Structure 1
């Protein structure tokens, strides 16, 4: 049997989302960035990833992108857009999924953060 791969996602407030997508001025944003950098990872906003997927599909022809219509409908729906703007995933380079050991390490560091905006 092949090894399972994992992805760590977090949900944050609109305030922290804006900061994570822009300047990393808030303490929580700085702490999240440190965790990502420690693991040689980056934080990616789910909405931004969905939007980039749609742009790529539209540039290359949507026929090769099986989730295009669902993703496009999601980013165009105001309620879903608001939800996904506050969702972030840890990526290892371009890899959206990674071994359990790495995911567990990120999760353990996240558990140490005591902040209502996370």
Structure 2
């Protein structure tokens, strides 16, 4: 039997609030998001910042040990992709990057009413099935 799928919720935060969410996620302007995250023991993790950290660690420890280094480095160097990822946030629940479906579903349900408002542009749920996740292009492996 295969391992049970785990899930992750992601938010795209509007341009007006994305930088604030990156630097001061407890700011009163983000209170609707913060209240939901607190209820679910969840926290924001900015995708661009996570990618930049991955690249920095790879360069410090040796890129040969980081299979997604070339792809990730190319992503953060591309201004169009940077603009996309600075407003994209993964939600960690109880410190975990991926979590059971029930936790993801509950978090998704509580966040859904914020979509289309002043803070949240998009909400998505992802799973750990490799068939559902993009793979690095051959030239960036």
The alignment's TM-score, normalised by the length of structure 2, stands at 0.76
Number of residue equivalences: 116
Displacement after TM superposition at 1:92 (Å): 2.6
Q: Which residue of 2 aligns with 1:86?
A: 87
Q: Which residue of 2 aligns with 1:42?
A: 43
Q: Which residue of 1 aligns with 2:32?
A: 31
Displacement after TM superposition at 1:31 (Å): 1.6
Bigger strand fraction: 2
Runs of 4+ with >4 A deviation: none
Output the CA distance in 2 between the equivalents of 1:25 and 1:16.
Answer: 11
The alignment's TM-score, normalised by the length of structure 1, stands at 0.90
Output the CA distance in 1 between the equivalents of 2:9 and 2:62.
Answer: 30
Check 1:73–1:94 CA distance in 2 against 1; reply closer, same or farther (3 A cut): farther
Task: Please tell me the root mean square deviation across aligned C-alpha atoms, in Å.
Answer: 1.5
Check 1:94–1:56 CA distance in 2 against 1; reply closer, same or farther (3 A cut): farther
* Structure 1 unpaired stretches of 5+: none
Output the CA distance in 2 between the equivalents of 1:92 and 1:64.
Answer: 27
